[in-house]
Amino acid sequence: MKHPIYFLSLTVLFTLISISSNGQTNFRPGYYINYNLDTIFGQIDYRSELRNGKICLFRTGPESEEVRFEPGDIRSYRFDPGKYYITKWVETDGQERFVFAEYLVNGIADLYYYRNEQTDHYFIETEDGRLVELNNEEIIVRRDGRTHTTSTNRHIGLLKATFSDCPEIQTNLESAQLSHKSLINLTSDYHHYVCNGEQCIIYEKDIPAVRLTFAPVAGAGLSSLSFSESNLLGRPSAFKSSPSPFVGVQLQASLPRINEKFSVQLETGVARNNYATQTTTEEYWRIISYDASINANSWQSSLALKYTFPKGGFRPTIAAGGQSAFYFNQESGYTKTVDDNGTVTIEEEDYMPVATPQWGAMVQLGLDYHLLKNIVFFTNFRYQYSKGIDFDFQATTAIHSLSLVLGTYF
């Protein structure tokens, strides 16, 4: 195959799609409670907040049959320790339905959270059993001849009405936000002011909508460079590199409320590339030899979709995406030696048309080491392919590389 990167990229992407669609399970200790108030312990499949609000996949053990519960089939279920979901009849987006709402705060007023395909939903339930959705709609208004978008802040009014018997927190309600952290704090503060000794239980700490992790990275690789569709050295030639060092930074972004296994990986850094080749050809009675070298720095960047297997201290990863390379501080050239039946002539050229920029793709296999709290060490082995054209010489440069990268997420 002329460009194996295309085959590898498609293979990885189809693997990722297959993993996502087949729904690799992630069972964790937990239990569910039925409507007879019986508690059944076992393991529950941990997924995104969207999936957890729709389905509870339960088994009593690794070898047992899996049982699927939908909202209304059971009273509640919980990961032990961790998230707690309870069946609730709610009205969202003009429709009434049973959902598994996440139980955030158990107090004088209970706080629930539910996510559907469109947005997040928060609900307050008071002692009289009323379930109030907190929302903040955006409306379009015309003012001074112009159209503006503004927020209704309806959730603030609803909170003030619900917590009207607690003047101590009324001022804080003015800055209430529709987020786990803000609403958990306000609901628990309300409980502490109005409750006579009963403990307020917070089941879930704040989970960020976006999680960003930063990592310094370093590594080295081997690559080959070729001038395809060109015979600069008498014939198409492949340059082999010595080990190329690389240093840079990596940023990983994920949406833990939606899917904690998928993330976007952005990496950028500088590498030093040294290529060399020697070729010899015979033309009748002449022997023509080329001794060529290319030395250049490159600014390399990649953007990839990454999948992390969720279990254990050692977690395999797989990623695929695009990459770019910009070459600078190039020093290149070749020496051409012609032996014409004993008469030797030497020509020198101080330039080789290495195209910049170059664009391509990458695939990556890795391993994350969760050995310390909040610090993750990782190793990535990747294959990269990039291509560019020098329009002055009409020479296409293609580069294949294999590299090993080490880093630490903070």
pLDDT tens per residue across all 410 residues of the chain: 444 444 444 454 445 444 444 456 788 899 999 999 999 999 999 888 888 999 999 999 888 999 999 999 999 999 987 899 999 998 877 788 899 999 999 988 999 999 887 788 999 987 777 888 898 877 776 777 677 677 788 889 999 988 998 999 999 999 899 888 899 989 888 888 888 777 788 886 556 778 899 999 999 999 888 877 555 655 556 788 788 899 999 999 987 766 778 899 999 999 998 888 887 878 777 888 888 888 889 999 999 999 998 766 788 999 999 999 999 988 888 888 888 877 888 888 887 778 889 999 999 999 999 877 678 899 999 999 999 987 776 778 889 999 999 999 88
Q: What is the pLDDT of residue 10?
A: 47
> Which residues lie below 8 Å from residue 343, measured CB to CB, with a gap of 6+?
none
**C-alpha to C-alpha distance for 299 and 327, rounded to whole angstroms:** 6
Give the Cβ contact number of residue 88 at 10 Å: 22
Answer for the pair 120, 96: CB distance below 8 angstroms, yes or no. no
Helix (H, G, I), strand (E, B) or coil at 265: strand
Give pLDDT, residue 2: 44
Tracing tokens 């390399």 back to the chain, one arrives at: 300
Look at residue 104 in the predicted model and tell me its pLDDT. 93
pLDDT at 336: 85
The whole-number pLDDT of residue 19 equals: 47
pTM: 0.60
SS3 11: helix
- Residue environment code for 240-277, b if the CB has 16+ CB neighbours within 10 A, otherwise e: ebeebebebebebebbebebbbbbebebebebbbebeb
